[in-house]
Amino acid sequence: MVLIGLGEEFDRINGSENAIFAESEMTAQNLKWIIPAFRSYDASKEAVERREKMQKSLGNLAELLGKKNYYILSVSQSKMISKTKWREGRLVMPCGCVRKKQCENGCEDEVLELTKEEEAEIVRAFENFEKASGEVKDFLRGDAEHVPPEVRMAMKMIQKKEAVGGAVKGLENDLRKILGKCERCGGDMVFNVLQATKYDEKGYLKDWDHYAKWLYGSMSRNLVVIELGTAESYPSLFQSAFEKITSLNPKASHFALGAENFENAIDWLTKLC
Using the predicted structure, report yes or no on whether residue 97 has a pLDDT greater than 60.
Answer: yes
**Average pLDDT, integer, range 130-136:** 80
Tell me the angle at which helices 17-28 and 149-179 cross, rounded to the nearest 10 degrees: 60
Phi and psi torsions of 132, nearest 5°: -65, -40
CA distance linking residue 48 with residue 79, whole number of Å: 13
Q: Which pLDDT does position 10 carry in this prediction? A: 85
69 or 12: whose pLDDT is higher?
69
Give the mean pLDDT of the chain.
86
CA distance linking residue 77 with residue 99, whole number of Å: 9
Question: How many separate helices (H) and strands (E) can be counted in the chain?
Answer: 9, 8
pLDDT digits (tens, 9 = 90+) for 56-93: 889 989 998 999 999 999 999 999 999 999 999 999 99
Report yes or no: 60 and 85 within 8 Å, Cβ to Cβ. Answer: no
Cβ neighbors of 271 (< 8 A, separation 6 or more) are none
Question: So where are the chain's domains?
Answer: 2-272
Cβ neighbors of 163 (< 8 A, separation 6 or more) are 132, 133, 134, 135, 136
Residue 261 pLDDT class (50, 70, 90 cuts): low
- DSSP class of 13: -
CA distance linking residue 27 with residue 33, whole number of Å: 9
